[in-house]
Amino acid sequence: MAEKSFKINEAIQVSFKGKKAQSGLTIKMDVLDETGALDVILSVAAMPEPNSDGVYVSTFTPDAQGEWLVYTYEDGKELEKVIKQYSVGGYNLDDLGQTVDAISIDTGSPPMIG
């Protein structure tokens, strides 16, 4: 089984910055679920630009384990999509690592592996 970087039902932040970091653009976000189908509910017609600095940010919350794809692109420039893949599982690797570290600190010894 592959390692999973994100956890189901937890929001994943997606950001987009164009080549020239232009402000005021309409940036779209298409979310494809673990089956490869477009999820119209999670997709975004216009990503917000919180700081007027050419960086657009949105989130989506996966509801199933698997490989999720997100396409971000400027409206009218569908051929210039930026593609990101998110591996979603039943746990978050960062949280798991922090739990192991906390156990190690509590017991005063490294965790047993194997």
- Count of the separate structural domains present in the chain: 1
Expressed as residue numbers, the domain containing 70 is 6-107
The answer to the question of residue 71 being in a domain is yes
pTM for this model (two decimals)? 0.77
Q: What integer best gives the mean pLDDT of the chain?
A: 86
CATH number at residue 14: 2.60.40.1930
List of residues 6+ apart from 96 with CB closer than 8 A: none
- Asked if the model's pLDDT at residue 1 lies above 60, the reply is no
- Asked if the model's pLDDT at residue 2 lies above 50, the reply is no
The answer to the question of residue 83 being in a domain is yes
Q: How far apart are CA 46 and CA 29, in angstroms?
A: 7
The answer to the question of residue 112 being in a domain is no
- Asked if the model's pLDDT at residue 14 lies above 70, the reply is yes
What's the burial of 43, exposed, middle or buried (CB within 10 Å: 0-12/13-18/19+)?
middle
- Asked if the model's pLDDT at residue 3 lies above 90, the reply is no
The answer to the question of residue 113 being in a domain is no
The answer to the question of residue 53 being in a domain is yes
List of residues 6+ apart from 64 with CB closer than 8 A: 8, 33, 34, 88
The answer to the question of residue 1 being in a domain is no
- Asked if the model's pLDDT at residue 62 lies above 80, the reply is yes
Mean pLDDT of 6-20: 92
The answer to the question of residue 102 being in a domain is yes
